[in-house]
């Protein structure tokens, strides 16, 4: 049977695994890899960061989008790597291994699964985490495709940088892109056929399907005195609001700094009749980093100042402002609309 | 709104989390718990066992079974704990923490989710792993309920016991129950209404919905010289076949020893017109342990000898036999039928 016609129902679990394993990279942090009841990974400093994230078909991606783009297994594999590696990055750590659960309907093409494994590996290596690899996993059947990845990582002896450490007077800075993944999502949901996209528009679409979190920036921020750190996965305002609450401070954004991010998105926004700044403020999934640093220190490479940390005024609680004005929270909540 | 009418769509993610967190136990191995981008857990000996497992609605459980039983959130939480803790047990280790991803439709009752959290905690504590707790998680929306748990654990400085270490002359032994969960599944799929079950039948049903893996047995086996160890989750014959292949040996089972396990299931088998021995040989989900020990040593408490390890004959490969006869492999494969 030609590969493009083969589905997972045509293979046993071990046959499917035999097609997946050779596509995964190897790293020395895996002391015992797939094949037993558990894997074993090194935790040299006696501590381990851990996080878990799920992508579900028709919630986090569509197999076929409104504009005709078909999400590949490679896309989902890459994005799984990106969003999980970002959670370790956001603590100031480096990912050392992943365990992966892939649930899918029996008619899922084997080619899609092979692409998923390839995308996972390409994401890990391409995003700059070659010392991370897949330690183990689980395959199962479901009505929809769902991928859950748990990631573990090391701080190499450093303290984790939490959301709760921002102090009055700190500089607020971001690393990575803002709003590009949201612009890409708008293009995927638009009526502009994928084949008609300009190169710039296609690059925005790619930011949604294969995001590029700044993985070097987390440990760099930790080593350079960041007081608070988190990844922006649900939108700048929403995530900044969480950091503000955790630190009991006000984050005040500089609209001029934010405008630089919107500027690059203006052509796509104009084409779609959308507002570029709302992508910058509300869009997640670029998996950029939001950090605070003590005032007066030189920001590490890759970080751009976008505001300052202020004390909570007696009359108002913690939260986010733009040039001193209350910013309406927009962004992603999984259940509330 | 009364609790029984409240669905997850009525709450924000943070409101839902606020109902979950107080239901989770705390353990000192969690250095940093839920609330940041990653959790942090202790790995005192510089290594960490890790495994991942998913339960999907209508694949691994039905919300309502043929016999009228409704799977509770408590059941799914307990079973998630059980099957994941068992994967660490099967290496000779002890679980230290879990991360949990729960995907569900918006109309899922909040009461179901609270029950899930309660079941997770009750499973962890009730199965004898009070030093384990939930370090973090992820909530998301999907068309069906899916629970993925990744578990990490410690070997306390010991070597892991792999599937590949069985040696010619070893004794084959099991800990825990065999076939009870399969009998429970048959009852759930039968036409005997749940309200008409005898106490013994109800106990079998409970073995399927809330299995009780022998968590003390894994570390005990490791400390007592077990040469190979794995958990029986897809059926004795299928899992023993995997151990035989990994060790390149033949496992020869004693039918008299296996008959003891079937005997206890005979009344239910007779009632349903089924074969009790096929439950013993083919049923998974009891999450018992399959181990091999050097001949002549006293088996640790909880283990029962069921056969011996023999060399592979030149004419035949590794595999499983019963009293020297080839045993047809039965059991669970996620994709092949």
Say if the Cβ atoms of B48 and A48 lie within 8 Å. yes
Give the pLDDT confidence score for residue A333 in this predicted structure: 53
Scanning the structure block, which residue is given the tokens 């003390």? B216
Structure tokens at B235: 């059926």
Question: Domains in chain A, ordered, with CATH?
Answer: 3-154 (3.30.1330.10), 163-326 (3.90.650.10)
Give the pLDDT confidence score for residue B214 in this predicted structure: 97
Query: HEC profile for chain B?
Result: CCHHHCEHHHCCHHHHHHHHHHHCCCCCCEEECECECCEEEECCCCEEEEEEEEEEECCCECCECCCCCECCHHHHHHHHHHHHHHHHHCCCCEEEEEEEEEEECCCCEHHHHHHHHHHHHHHHHHCCCCCCEEEEEEEEECCCCEEEEEEEEECCCCCCCCHHHCCCCCEEEEECCCCHHHHHHHHHCCCCCHHHCCHHHHHHHHHHHCCCCCCCHHHHHHHCCCCEEEEECCCHHHHHHHHHHHHCCEEEECHHHHHHHHHCCHHHHHHHCCCHHHHHHHCCCCCEEEEEECCCCCCCCCEEEEEEEECCCCCCCCEEEECCEECCCCCCCCCCC
- What mean pLDDT, rounded, does chain B reach? 94
Q: What is the mean pLDDT of residues A136-156?
A: 96
Give the pLDDT confidence score for residue B331 in this predicted structure: 53
Q: Render pLDDT for B103-113 as a digit per residue (tens, 0 to 9).
A: 999 999 999 99
Give the pLDDT confidence score for residue A45 in this predicted structure: 94
Whole-structure pTM value: 0.94
Contact residues, chain B, for A45 at CB < 8 Å: 46
For residue B140, the chain A residue with the least C-alpha distance is A334
Q: Whole-angstrom Cα distance, residue B143 to residue A11? A: 26
User: How close is the nearest chain A Cα to the Cα of B44, in Å?
Assistant: 5
Give the pLDDT confidence score for residue A303 in this predicted structure: 98
Q: What is the mean pLDDT of residues B260-274?
A: 96
Q: How confident is the model at residue B332 (pLDDT cuts 50, 70, 90)?
A: low
Which of B47, B87, B335 minimises the CB distance to A42? B47
Say if the Cβ atoms of B36 and A163 lie within 8 Å. yes
Q: Whole-angstrom Cα distance, residue A88 to residue A108? A: 31
**Residue/partner pairs of A164-167 with CB below 8 Å, 24 or more apart:** A164/A228, A164/A246, A164/A247, A164/B36, A165/A226, A165/A227, A165/A228, A165/A247, A165/A292, A166/A227, A166/A228, A166/A243, A166/A244, A166/A247, A166/A249, A166/A251, A166/A292, A166/A309, A167/A227, A167/A247, A167/A249, A167/A292, A167/A294, A167/A309
Burial (CB count <10 Å: 0-12, 13-18, 19+), residue B4: exposed
Q: How confident is the model at residue B234 (pLDDT cuts 50, 70, 90)?
A: very high
Q: What is the mean pLDDT of residues B287-308?
A: 97
Whole-number percent of chain B with pLDDT over 90? 91
Whole-number percent of chain A with pLDDT over 70? 97
Say if the Cβ atoms of A50 and B135 lie within 8 Å. yes
Question: Is residue A228 over pLDDT 60?
Answer: yes
Q: Cα-flanking dihedrals φ and ψ of residue A255, to 5°?
A: -60, -30
Say if the Cβ atoms of B143 and A93 lie within 8 Å. no
Question: Is residue A332 over pLDDT 70?
Answer: no
Q: What is the mean pLDDT of residues B123-133?
A: 95
Q: Render pLDDT for B15-26 as a digit per residue (tens, 0 to 9).
A: 999 999 999 999
Pairing of β B325-326 and β B146-154: unpaired
Q: Whole-angstrom Cα distance, residue B190 to residue B65? A: 9
Contact residues, chain B, for A146 at CB < 8 Å: 54, 56, 103, 142, 146
Q: Render pLDDT for B308-325 as a digit per residue (tens, 0 to 9).
A: 999 998 888 999 999 998
Q: Which of B59, B162, B295 is nearest to A37 (CA)?
A: B162
Q: Whole-angstrom Cα distance, residue A43 to residue B228? A: 24
Contact residues, chain B, for A162 at CB < 8 Å: 32, 36
For residue A290, the chain B residue with the least C-alpha distance is B37
Give the pLDDT confidence score for residue B52 in this predicted structure: 97
Contact residues, chain B, for A56 at CB < 8 Å: 103, 140-142, 146
Torsion of CA A148, A152, A153, A154, to 10 degrees: 170
Question: Is residue A118 over pLDDT 50?
Answer: yes
Contact residues, chain B, for A40 at CB < 8 Å: 47-50, 91, 155, 160
Which of B12, B39, B229 minimises the CB distance to A50? B39
Structure tokens at A149: 């990845």
Give the pLDDT confidence score for residue B335 in this predicted structure: 53
Say if the Cβ atoms of A137 and B52 lie within 8 Å. yes
Q: Cα-flanking dihedrals φ and ψ of residue A300, to 5°?
A: -65, 160
- What mean pLDDT, rounded, does chain A reach? 94
Scanning the structure block, which residue is given the tokens 């079973």? B79
Question: Is residue A334 over pLDDT 80?
Answer: no
Q: How confident is the model at residue A331 (pLDDT cuts 50, 70, 90)?
A: low
Q: What is the mean pLDDT of residues A25-43?
A: 94
Say if the Cβ atoms of A138 and B52 lie within 8 Å. yes
Say if residues B243 and B236 touch (Cβ distance below 8 Å).
no
Give the pLDDT confidence score for residue A290 in this predicted structure: 98
Residue A56: which H helix or E strand, with range? strand A47-56
Give the pLDDT confidence score for residue A329 in this predicted structure: 52
Q: What is the mean pLDDT of residues A29-43?
A: 94
Say if the Cβ atoms of B44 and A48 lie within 8 Å. no
Q: What is the mean pLDDT of residues B130-148?
A: 95
Question: Is residue B336 over pLDDT 50?
Answer: no
């Amino acid at each position: 049977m030609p590969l493009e016609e083969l589905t997972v129902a045509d293979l046993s679990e071990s046959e499917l695994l035999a097609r997946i394993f050779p596509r995964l990279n190897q790293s020395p942090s895996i002391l015992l890899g797939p094949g037993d009841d558990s894997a074993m990974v090194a935790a040299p400093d006696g501590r381990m960061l851990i996080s878990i994230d799920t992508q579900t078909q028709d919630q986090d991606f569509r197999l076929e989008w409104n504009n005709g783009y078909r999400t590949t297994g490679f896309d989902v594999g890459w994005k799984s790597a990106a969003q999980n590696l970002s959670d370790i990055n956001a603590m100031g750590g480096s990912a050392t291994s992943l365990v992966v659960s892939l649930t899918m309907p029996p008619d899922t093409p084997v080619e899609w699964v092979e692409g998923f494994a390839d995308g996972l590996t390409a994401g890990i290596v391409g995003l700059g985490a070659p010392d991370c690899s897949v330690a183990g996993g689980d395959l199962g059947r479901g009505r929809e495709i769902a991928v859950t990845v748990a990631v573990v990582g090391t701080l190499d002896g450093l303290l984790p940088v939490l959301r709760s450490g921002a102090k009055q007077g700190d500089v607020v800075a971001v690393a990575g892109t803002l709003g590009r993944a949201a612009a890409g999502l708008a293009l995927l949901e638009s009526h502009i056929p994928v084949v008609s996209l300009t190169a710039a528009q296609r690059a925005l679409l790619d930011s949604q399907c294969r995001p590029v979190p700044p993985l070097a920036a987390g440990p760099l921020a930790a080593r350079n005195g960041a007081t608070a750190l988190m990844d922006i996965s649900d939108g700048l305002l929403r995530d900044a609001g969480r950091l503000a609450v955790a630190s009991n401070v006000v984050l005040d954004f500089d609209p001029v700094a934010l405008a630089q991010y919107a500027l690059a998105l203006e052509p796509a926004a104009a084409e779609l009749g959308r507002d570029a700044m709302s992508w910058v403020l509300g869009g997640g999934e670029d998996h950029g980093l939001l950090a605070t640093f003590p005032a007066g220190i030189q920001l590490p490479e890759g970080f751009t100042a976008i505001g300052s940390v202020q004390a909570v005024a007696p009359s108002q609680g913690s939260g986010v402002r733009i040039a001193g004005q209350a910013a309406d929270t927009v962004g992603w909540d999984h259940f509330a609309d």
